[in-house]
Structure 1
Amino acid sequence: MGAARKLVLVMLGAMALAGAARAENEAPPADQASQPAAPPAAPGAKEPAPPPSVTVIEAREAHGVLGRDVRGPNDENMGRIVDVIVDRAGVVRAAVIDFGGFLGVGSRKIVVDWNALHFGRVANKGDSITLELTKEQVNAAPEYKEDAPIVVLGAAGSLKPLLFDH
């Protein structure tokens, strides 16, 4: 079955569920039509939550990034993504890369600006993410330590603090 046909079937199913939910909310079943209406909700009572929205993302369109290999502009190994940093508004700002070392020995974590990463081919778990910084620029970055100010290596190779209001 083609991807477009699957998407159409999923969308039709979601629309059918939404229509059934609307119909359930709009008219009572026939056996309840002659029964008196339920008393109004007490003041301060919570209204029922609306049904959640549904979004369908094609498998080839999005994938997780944690644990993905990161390659440099010359296809050099730059490490792997071990965390993602978001600001208080939930906007992705940077990625933490476990850089250097061998089998986890001698490695260190650095933080790079999210815009310095390119996700051209991530359809398979084996596909890597490209970092537009050189190994020398990454070597110069200070190590990431939790509960310390975060220094983000920018897409142009500049270092800048990532500060939040307290």
Structure 2
Amino acid sequence: MTRTFATLTAAAALMIAPATFTSTAQAQSPSPETTTPPAASPVVPDAGTPQAPPAEMPNSPSTDTPSAAPDAMPGDTTQASPTVVPATPKFVATQESGQQLGSDLIGADVVTSTDEKLGSIRDVVVERDGRIIAAVIDVGGFLGIGAKPVAVSFDSLAPTTTDSGQKIVVALTKEELNTAPEFKTLEQVRQETSDAGARTN
């Protein structure tokens, strides 16, 4: 009888063991993961970690307002100075006494105080404000050939009206005019400077 009881006890243990093992395995197996991702929690910066200012943060947009583009680059000389436009033009209706016409001066004879002819006025030098500062006189030569241009200050000339027109009296001698420096225009000076530079090269 004792052997029979032992046999029944072993059989009962075998029947109970699979169920216990299955329950234990189910309890220990991980639960299946959910397909819905958890909501992202806001990132709160650590209060103890100092944050860099926006200008120093990488790839941060600049908060500075762009400055206006300069009118010209340094060293740029292509811009011309602005032209100063004078005030509203005035009209002159008639020539007044004491005024002269350019056509009266050009070609007028230049003489000494003793009425010795020195030459004739070829041109005048005019300032930007309209003042005539010098008269260019052709001195010497023959029929205009070989004459030397000499510029004399206009305030040293004394126009005198004659029966045949006008003559210009100057307090100079022929020798003084002949030894005076030759007048050169700005174009002539530039040409001589250019020629001198070409010769040195």
Specify the code of the residue in structure 1 equivalent to 2:175: E
Counterpart in the other structure of 1:144: 183
SS of residue matched to 1:143: coil
1:88 aligned to 2:128? yes
Cα 1:113–1:58 change in 2 (3 A) is closer
Higher helix proportion, which one?
A: 2
1:135 aligned to 2:165? no
Residues 109-124 of structure 1 mapped to structure 2, 5 A cutoff: 109-121=149-161
Largest Rg, 1 or 2: 2
1:55 aligned to 2:88? no
Two-structure CA RMSD over aligned residues (Å): 2.9
Separation in 2 of the partners of 1:86 and 1:115?
13
1:105 aligned to 2:111? no
Cα 1:56–1:117 change in 2 (3 A) is same
Structure showing greater relative contact order (alpha-carbon pairs closer than 8 Å, 6 or more residues apart): 1
Separation in 2 of the partners of 1:114 and 1:60?
14
C-alpha deviations, 1:2-40, integer Å up to 9, x for none?
A: xxxxxxxxxxxxxxxxxxxxxxxxxxxxxxxxxxxxxxx
SS of residue matched to 2:169: strand
Query: Number of aligned pairs?
Result: 100
SS of residue matched to 2:105: coil
5+ residue gaps, structure 1, are: 1-49, 150-166
Compute the TM-score of the two structures, normalised by the length of structure 1.
Answer: 0.51
Higher strand proportion, which one?
A: 1
The CA deviation at 1:62 is 3.7
Identity of aligned residues (%): 39
Asked whether the 8 Å contact 1:68–1:125 carries over to 2, the reply is no
Residue among 104, 107, 112 paired with 1:67: 107
The CA deviation at 1:146 is 1.7
The CA deviation at 1:111 is 0.3
Cα 1:58–1:51 change in 2 (3 A) is closer
SS of residue matched to 1:121: strand
Compute the TM-score of the two structures, normalised by the length of structure 2.
Answer: 0.43
